[in-house]
């Protein structure tokens, strides 16, 4: 589902780079943290580096910055993004 979120949030010419950068994060709670990063950067590739640095320092900080403190918050956010992105 990460790929679908990237498709919904970034222009086509940036998606490959975004996915490659996200693949560099393989710490704890990988999917949840990657989605937190996507929420935090709000489609801005330049902010992606900062967000991934934060996640690599302490994944919990990335989760809190994205308001993903509740275990299912990332699922609710992803569902809303994908629902909005549907034609």
Q: What percent of the chain has pLDDT over 90?
A: 94
In the chain, the number of structural domains is: 1
Q: What percent of the chain has pLDDT over 70?
A: 99
Give the domain extent around 25.
2-85
- Tens of pLDDT, residue by residue over 50-74, are 999 999 999 999 999 999 999 999 9
**What average pLDDT does this structure show over 28-52?**
95
pLDDT value at 86 more than 80: no
Q: How many helices, marked H, and strands, marked E, lie in the chain?
A: 6, 0
Q: What is the mean pLDDT of the chain?
A: 95
Total length of the chain: 87
pLDDT value at 87 more than 80: no
């Amino acid at each position: 589902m990460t790929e679908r979120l990237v498709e919904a949030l970034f222009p086509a010419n940036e998606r490959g780079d975004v996915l490659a950068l996200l693949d560099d994060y393989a710490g704890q709670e990988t999917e949840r943290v990657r989605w937190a990063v996507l929420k935090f950067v709000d489609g801005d590739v330049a902010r992606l580096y900062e967000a991934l640095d934060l996640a690599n320092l302490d994944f919990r900080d990335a989760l809190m910055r994205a308001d993903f403190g509740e275990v299912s918050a990332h699922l609710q956010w992803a569902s809303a993004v994908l629902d909005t992105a549907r034609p």
